[in-house]
Structure 1
């Protein structure tokens, strides 16, 4: 097998395309031949040694991928050789093969394209867990999605619309706002050229959004929280902007608002039955056409450094997928 190997987490330039022994699956594991792997923001942080999970060196980055089961370990009965699966294991995706826990593999319907499958689990599981579980989103409520043209943002727009909510999508350019509108957003805000608070007042008649979905953090957090509706829920999803914001706690008091943490990975680990039910719902929604990953572009796996550069420049809308 071959893979992009990180021996020193000093950045993308330290990755090397390396030939490695093809491993054999142990009990409870499967060998997956990778056909597609998506690039997520944590994949950039992890090779810079900036992510909360720090795998032992050396490691193969690539958190999310889809492919074909080529071998199964002892005790694996729900997966068969030749079956298409998607998985999110944190590492291992940017190579030709990977060993994955069988329990972490999502069996795919035959008509599920592998490029879509590689861009499915992280964004839709995060967004569904955030909106439907943590925020308890109700039909008719208004959701503000920050960073709305990114992977989790585009997933959040689709899930909120499928749940019957009104969506205000906020992004950093007119092009990104147009993408959000094409996905069903009821209103858009370009926060690079428009005052976020004033735009939210206008878009909600002064009431503010019931739910704020925030994978960005940074300078957008405080104006968004100041704009939230009475009994609003502010979803802390991530910090793509870099800085972790410090919010005045009196804002939560004055609005009767909740600051709600979203950590899908830990939810998956602690509540596997609830997570499995959620993933089954998401597969149904995909097959019904209610959700579909937004694919920015596909690139060959050999172009991983260029793909990282595109992601680092904030140019990606939806998901960038590497194929082989």
Structure 2
């Protein structure tokens, strides 16, 4: 088989003589692979044999603000060129995360100044790649990735930070941040034991749904908070023993009356008054894992009010602990977590609920501009499962 290099305009292909080179090097020919050699090509041919456009749209943080609509704008830019070890990915789906507005507010790295790209996770097809990256991937492969710049039609992603997936389905996207957060946090910080009681707040959301399932797999009794009867019904289907609809039930009273001994582990993402209830509901030697505090993200400080003056005494009296979890600090656990979840998914042992906004006002989240609606939708608490935007429709083959 001959290796193919694309010409600068992307239209021609130059077959390379390889017989003599192979004989001299002793290297056996490998399976056919399209290689885009960036030293010769500045324009690409994608795997469907249609030219990649010269321009694209992406979302950029142009002003620091927790108001996503105020901070972010859509811009037209040139399609980026992948480096030697990079992939150029045509995004099909991008995930929405509560922390998108923390990022737009500049809270993660104050040294980073606008403009900068946004969006943490994407999935799509490889349409271009550097020469070194071609040792692992080829044009046409489907990959998912966890990194900045996913709110774009095309994104350059380091090959080593990409994950090969069977298809560009949003279910795989749910694992990258939401699933990995629940898996690693509970494994490393939860110390779950069979028979323990676990409380998951915002249990029907992107990461909560996974915390419920992983706690149940560990043999725990699982309580999950949610905001509607529909969500409570969903939670039962994924193993939640006691869904609590906090719009119709008082969370603190319900926990006191039904769980007087307290709860052993709390997977908490809401903050504020919910965090206070969680602290007061801990059992002796209880562990409270803080993975976020979404109730405060839209404020100027990003932190919800919390009455913690008596916190040291409460923890001491119960030999309890509060543990913070931030996914980038646990990257060494990421590969194992993702592999385990992918296996569970393939075996039908993991539910990855996706909400693409089909029932939202305005309909399904399609196109980059719908990211703004999707963020609003999630912060209104309307989502059931992981909120995902369809950046571009799946291409239809142009073959007759």
Scaled by the length of structure 2, what TM-score is found?
0.74
Determine if the alignment matches structure 1 residue 45 to structure 2 residue 102: yes
Determine if the alignment matches structure 1 residue 300 to structure 2 residue 358: no
1:5 to 52, 60, 71: 60
Give the structure 2 partner of residue 320 of structure 1: 387
TM-aligned CA deviation for residue 291 of structure 1: 1.5
The change in CA–CA distance for 1:16 and 1:260 in structure 2 (over 3 A counts) is closer
Give the structure 1 partner of residue 299 of structure 2: none
TM-aligned CA deviation for residue 267 of structure 1: 0.9
1:67 to 116, 124, 127: 124
Does the CA contact (< 8 Å) of 1:167 and 1:185 recur in 2? Answer: yes
TM-aligned CA deviation for residue 14 of structure 1: 5.1
Give the structure 2 partner of residue 81 of structure 1: 139
**Secondary structure of residue in 2 paired with 1:155:** helix
Does the CA contact (< 8 Å) of 1:149 and 1:180 recur in 2? Answer: yes
> Please, which runs of 5 or more residues in structure 1 have no aligned partner?
none
Give the structure 2 partner of residue 249 of structure 1: 312
Give the structure 1 partner of residue 291 of structure 2: 237
1:258 to 303, 318, 321: 321
TM-aligned CA deviation for residue 24 of structure 1: 1.4
Does the CA contact (< 8 Å) of 1:171 and 1:177 recur in 2? Answer: yes
TM-aligned CA deviation for residue 21 of structure 1: 1.1
Aligned pair count reads: 315
Determine if the alignment matches structure 1 residue 30 to structure 2 residue 87: yes
> Please, which runs of 5 or more residues in structure 2 have no aligned partner?
1-55, 297-303, 358-364, 393-400
Determine if the alignment matches structure 1 residue 139 to structure 2 residue 187: no
1:154 to 209, 219, 235: 209
The runs of 4+ residues in structure 1 deviating greater than 6 Å are none
The change in CA–CA distance for 1:28 and 1:246 in structure 2 (over 3 A counts) is farther
TM-aligned CA deviation for residue 220 of structure 1: 1.0
Does the CA contact (< 8 Å) of 2:142 and 2:168 recur in 1? Answer: no
**Secondary structure of residue in 2 paired with 1:232:** strand
Give the structure 2 partner of residue 277 of structure 1: 336
The change in CA–CA distance for 1:253 and 1:172 in structure 2 (over 3 A counts) is same
The CA RMSD measured in Å over matched residues stands at 2.0
1:207 to 252, 258, 261: 261
2:293, 2:106 → 1: CA distance?
Answer: 12
Scaled by the length of structure 1, what TM-score is found?
0.90
The change in CA–CA distance for 1:113 and 1:182 in structure 2 (over 3 A counts) is farther
**Secondary structure of residue in 2 paired with 1:119:** helix
TM-aligned CA deviation for residue 60 of structure 1: 2.8
2:195, 2:279 → 1: CA distance?
Answer: 20
2:90, 2:153 → 1: CA distance?
Answer: 6
**Secondary structure of residue in 2 paired with 1:94:** coil
TM-aligned CA deviation for residue 171 of structure 1: 1.9
